[in-house]
A and B are shown apart, each in its own frame.
Chain A
Amino acid sequence: MSANLFPMHYCAEAQAEAGIKSRAIDESLRLPVLALFGNAVHWLLISALISLVLAIKLVIPDFLGGISFLNYGRLAPIARDLFLYGWAAQAAFAAGIWLTARLAGRPLADKEACSVAATMQRTLLICATVLWNLAILLGSLAILAGYSTGVEWLEYPNWASGALFACFLMIGIWAVLLYDRRINERAEVAQWYLVAGFCSFPWVYGSANLLLTWKPLPAPAQGAVQAWFSGSFPLLCLLPIAIAALYALLPRMQEAHLHRRTLAPLGFWSFLLLAGWSGIGNLIGGPIPAWMMASGVVSSVLFLIPVIIIAINLFGISSKVSVGYNSESGAAEEAPKSVAQRFLHLGVYALIFVGALTSFIAWPGISGVLRFTGVTDAKVELLLFGAVSLPLFGVLYKAIPLLLGRESWCPKLAEGHYWLAAVGFWLLAGVLALSGLFTGLALSDPTVTFLNITSYGFPFHVLEVVAQLLLFVAALMLGFNVTRAFAGEYLFPKRS
């Protein structure tokens, strides 16, 4: 690990020097990263509100009924897409760019080397951010108006998805170039994951859109591509950035080395390989060739391996087994964990659950019972809200005060956000998994009618409403806290 980015406390001089450098780096990315984070949390809030409405609709089907654009079928894709592209992707870009620059020890563009290039770069990033959000806003309105493509997770009309693709190219290129300009010769584990995440986005989003919505393949071939996308997008585009955040921040927060660092390359490469293949595990039993199904089963089951490796790397430090730098100062250990750190920790737990569940429900016999039920939703929730979003919250809480140059959070709101998000998330995942288990077993018995099974689902749907309400209030707290921090910056722009 290089000492110059997130300063370690073992050397005061290095820390002071690194502090100046870090500030220069933060200065170079301040506006784009804050803009990305700021927009992301507000989309998260809207997505949480729509998810709450959807959960209520499952309990009271007539709730806000009879209005075309408030129908379940139109709101459901919007809630998901806003979460995926509005919140998760955007927060991942923000976190990814900030982490890349910090880890590389370089500002986004060297102002001293070439001020024109620096200005251009920043302008491009801002333009991409604006266009990205515009595309999401207009694309979501188009879905409301009935212009959805009908392909799950790719519902945005072609012009919107095209704009998202172009924006991504404008954002992602800098992260990859920064990796090459890094000052640490031996790249860190987090840096590999960052490059992988940024590289896979155009690849995955581009080819899935090209073949499913821009110039659709004949429908018999679409199933496999849809399944590949549904696995690859969250696992290869979003999750690597979240994993990078864990690898970059957790050791530094605990002032310790990674545990069994030599396993990390195996974890990294097997993660990339298996994540790409495991998507087809979402189509077990479906209209695809048998070998494809088998490859989905195998890769999903084996997906547990990289997850275990990541957990070993990170849990070694979480449980304070490994030797840290802080042998002299015991104070850091006694200090209560920050909200950021707790979010990152929770992310590791969620990641382990994702790995275990992916591997478990891929067995053909188990998939036969549990696929299409709430267990499928539980997996998506564990992945998108748990393994992806929780670490991103951690980065957000860590990065924004550094970028604003002052402690900007209302600690009570941050604390409230943490607890509500944690409780809401585990409750939702648990309820969905449990309801899926009941539904799946009931569906296997043909004497139980479908409507009967629907009626069993009622208490679970009520609990889902409770969980979504908690998540909505959590998102509200986060949104308010971020807005407050930014507004404070605008109203009283003093730097500490």
Chain B
Amino acid sequence: MHRLPTLLSGIFLIFLTSWIGLVAYPALQLGRLTPVADADLGTSFPPVYGGESIAGQRVYASEGCVSCHSQQVRQTSVTTSDLQRGWGARPSVARDYLRDSTAFLGSRRLGQDLANVGQRLPEAKWHYLHLYAPASVSEGSIMPSYANLFSVRKIEGEHSKEALDLSGSFAPKPGYEVVPTAEAKNLVAYLLSLRHDYPLPEADALTKSPAKPSH
């Protein structure tokens, strides 16, 4: 290994092993997954996103949500606590991410897992309040306010139907209202579409393992 070609080829071959295993193989295998057609329901899973959800992914990326939130329910062979905490009814599988442009798997849980947030918290209203003033719906939360996704404007004529129902210290000045911007709407649409509650053959196989969620 004192000659450059020898050293370089050794390094190259050894890099190649993990590259083939962890880059090329997933690209060829997992990269070719397709939706599973369900003949009974006449649809395919995972369901496709609407336009707003697709735009919402961009907001999710640019606001850096992935810094604090993961999107994966772990397999029961490793832990059952994700299921028990109600973060999902089954472990996440690769096909669940099929409709995403980026897989926001995350590495930290300073906040809760969001893989099934649309199922757990299905109300758009709640999410708007939570994004604007997290403590207003979740006291003690350390999530920062994403007030930049909302506009505070003077009420002219009628109250906007979209205005947030804020009270107490969170309410805007009298005569003003807080309405979500298009970005907030897209982000919430995306969050609501995060739900792995459809059947997939490989996921069914995973849940058949002995460890069962307690509730």
Contact = CB atoms under 8 A, between A and B. Distances in A.
Interface of A: 57-58, 61-62, 65-68, 71-77, 146-152, 155, 176, 179-180, 185-187, 192, 195-196, 199-200, 203, 207, 211-212, 216-228, 230, 232, 236, 265, 269, 272-273, 276-277, 279-280, 282-290, 292-293, 295, 364-365, 367-369, 371-373, 376-377, 443-446, 450-451, 454-455, 457, 461
Contacts of A195: 4, 7-8, 11
Interface stretch (B20-28, B36-44, B122-130, B155-163): B20-28
A192 B17 CA distance: 19
Contacts of B75: 285-286, 293
B33 interface: yes
Contacts of A364: 77-78
A73 B4 contact: no
A342 to B, nearest CB: 31
Contacts of A457: 142
Contacts of B62: 74, 146-148, 150
8 contacts: A66-B145, A71-B63, A77-B67, A150-B102, A216-B102, A288-B94, A289-B94, A364-B77
Q: Nearest 9 pairs between A and B by C-beta?
A: A150-B61, A73-B64, A276-B18, A368-B79, A285-B74, A285-B78, A68-B148, A146-B62, A220-B94
A444 B79 contact: yes
Given A265-B1, A283-B105, A150 B66 contact: yes
Most buried by B among A61, A150, A207, A276: A150
A114 B142 CA distance: 62
A224 B20 CA distance: 11
Interface string B59-90: 01111111110101011011101001110000
B214 interface: yes
Given A61-B145, A68-B148, A187-B7, A221 B63 contact: no
A74 B92 contact: no
B45 interface: no
B81 A220 contact: no
B41 to A, nearest CB: 22
A369 B75 CA distance: 13
Contacts of B175: none
Given A179-B4, A372-B109, A150 B27 contact: no
B105 A221 contact: no
Contacts of B31: 217-218, 220-221
A350 to B, nearest CB: 20
A216 B61 CA distance: 14
Range, interface on chain B: 35 or more
A307 to B, nearest CB: 17
Given A219-B103, A285-B77, 12 more contacts: A68-B148, A77-B67, A146-B63, A155-B64, A207-B19, A276-B22, A280-B22, A286-B72, A369-B79, A377-B108, A451-B139, A455-B140
A368 B97 contact: no
A139 B152 CA distance: 30
B110 to A, nearest CB: 7
A203 B77 CA distance: 33
Interface string B1-21: 110100110111011011101
Most buried by A among B22, B70, B100, B141: B22
B19 A451 contact: no
Contacts of B107: 152, 230, 282, 372, 376
Contacts of A180: 4
A404 to B, nearest CB: 32
Contact of A277 (B22, B93, B110): B22
Contacts of A217: 26-27, 31
A68 B184 CA distance: 13
B108 A220 contact: no
B101 interface: yes
Given A66-B145, A185-B2, A372-B109, A222 B21 contact: no
Contacts of A276: 14-15, 17-19, 22
Given A217-B31, A219-B101, A450-B85, A65 B7 contact: no
Interface of B: 1-2, 4, 7-8, 10-12, 14-15, 17-19, 21-23, 25-27, 29-33, 57, 60-68, 70, 72, 74-75, 77-79, 81, 84-86, 91-110, 112, 134-135, 138-148, 214
Contacts of B22: 224-225, 227-228, 276-277, 279-280, 292
Contacts of A227: 22
Given A72-B144, A276-B18, A285-B75, A219 B98 contact: yes
Nearest to A373: B109
Nearest to A75: B64
B18 A228 contact: yes
Contacts of B17: 273, 276-277
A451 B77 contact: no
Contacts of A277: 17-18, 21-22
A375 to B, nearest CB: 11
A372 B98 CA distance: 23
Contacts of A146: 62-63
A303 to B, nearest CB: 12
Nearest to A461: B142
A221 B98 CA distance: 9
A292 to B, nearest CB: 7
Given A77-B64, A187-B2, A377-B108, A232 B78 contact: no
Contact of B68 (A73, A224, A373): A73
B21 A295 contact: yes
A450 B112 contact: yes
A237 B63 CA distance: 28
